[in-house]
């Protein structure tokens, strides 16, 4: 759990912006809710010095000092590069400087590395992709500093099948979701069927949250948070935390919803029912209860009915609305709720 700058700022980032976001993680209660990584994406890098050491650009005068500042807040520091010669924004990549860059990041106190394929396709054959990712993982290990290793290569070559074997802790399963509801839902719902590849220490990553960036409404934001938590996905907020509305903060920090995402068993949920634009997803929790996401992917309000038999429960069950944070009582056989366009409901169900 943490924050990433890309969808809000793209290349318009600086030391001051990152410090302000770190401050806001603490002051808003985001850190207390579990968001601890402050991840800088593309466009922080400058050129290499005469010895080949990567240097930050003028917007980041001292990366070690920035890392120290983030750590002083009891937060963790994340950074970004590419296995290719350049990044997606045509900045300096790590090609042929893997060990050198890993040592540099370790010296700065980096705790998280996002490794984005981008121009690597120009220098590596498709069958060399796994080796390129393993090379940087080995370089990280050689530093002795633990770092979360995030593979960003858009689901190429079914990365979920081999991401863990090259050291990945998380791997993007699809293209970038940046945009509106239609775009993120197009890709995120494709994570069904990938649940067997996820678990503690290695996660399917459907990308950064768009909540609060300004391209989706509150119903759509709750739907994204619901799906990400059912998927046991990494939760990386992407909005400007210094200008966050109370409603957005409530979505990002709802403790009962986050508890589903962070359930210690780390089981990724799956789709259990679909009819047209209506879908129901279920995640088994460590206490034996079941978290259920109910989605309406149509352009108008629709009723969605959860039949308890579809999640392996016969007869009566107690149902709790996780967004409203209230018990709905003991119900028999099913639960029906009207869901607005592109919205979702999220409940916890326990057999009686």
Residue 137: its H or E element: helix 129-143
Distance separating alpha carbons of residues 238 and 212, to the nearest angstrom: 8
Alpha-carbon separation of residue 64 from 60, 70, 74, 127, 249 (angstroms): 10, 10, 15, 36, 30
| Catalytic residue, candidates 23, 138, 176, 333 | 176
Strand pairing category for 2-4 and 37-39: parallel
* Cβ neighbours around 296 below 10 Å, total: 25
132 bridge partner residues: none
Residue 181: which of 340, 28, 61 has the closest Cα? 340
| Catalytic residue, candidates 42, 101, 111, 116 | 116
| Helix axes 63-72 and 15-27, enclosed angle (nearest 10) | 10
Residue 146 near residue 201 (C-beta atoms within 8 A)? no
**Active-site residue, 176 included:** yes
Residue 29: which of 234, 237, 218 has the closest Cα? 237
Residues labelled as active-site residues: 116, 176
């Amino acid at each position: 759990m943490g924050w990433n700058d890309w969808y809000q700022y793209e290349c318009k980032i600086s030391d001051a912006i990152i410090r302000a976001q770190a401050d806001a993680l603490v002051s808003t209660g985001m850190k207390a809710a579990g968001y601890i990584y402050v991840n800088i994406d593309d466009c922080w890098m400058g050129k290499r010095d005469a010895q080949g050491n990567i240097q930050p650009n003028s917007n980041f005068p001292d990366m070690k000092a920035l890392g120290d500042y983030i750590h002083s807040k009891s937060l963790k520091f994340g950074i970004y590069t590419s296995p290719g010669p350049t990044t997606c924004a045509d900045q300096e990549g790590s090609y042929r400087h893997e060990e050198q860059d890993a040592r540099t990041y370790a010296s700065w106190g980096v705790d998280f590395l996002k490794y984005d394929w981008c121009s690597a396709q120009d220098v590596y054959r498709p069958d060399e992709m796994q080796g390129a990712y393993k090379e940087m993982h080995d370089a990280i290990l050689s530093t002795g500093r633990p770092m979360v290793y995030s593979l960003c290569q858009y689901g190429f070559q079914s990365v979920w099948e081999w991401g863990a074997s090259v050291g990945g802790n998380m791997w993007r399963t699809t293209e970038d979701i940046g945009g509106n509801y239609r775009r993120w839902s197009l890709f995120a719902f494709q994570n069904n069927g990938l649940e067997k590849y996820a678990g503690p220490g290695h996660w399917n990553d459907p990308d950064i949250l768009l909540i609060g960036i300004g391209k989706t409404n509150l119903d759509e934001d709750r739907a994204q948070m619901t799906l990400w938590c059912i998927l046991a996905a990494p939760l990386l907020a992407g909005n400007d935390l210094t200008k966050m509305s109370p409603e957005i903060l409530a979505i990002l920090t709802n403790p009962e919803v986050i508890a589903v995402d962070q359930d210690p068993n780390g089981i990724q949920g799956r789709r259990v029912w679909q009819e047209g634009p209506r879908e129901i997803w279920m995640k088994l929790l460590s206490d034996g209860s079941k978290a259920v996401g109910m989605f309406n992917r149509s352009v108008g309000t629709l009723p969605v009915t959860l039949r308890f038999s579809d999640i392996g429960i016969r007869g009566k069950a107690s149902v709790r609305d996780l967004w409203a944070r209230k018990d709905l009582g003991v119900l028999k056989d099913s639960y029906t709720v009207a869901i607005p366009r592109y919205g979702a409901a999220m409940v916890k169900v326990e057999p009686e």
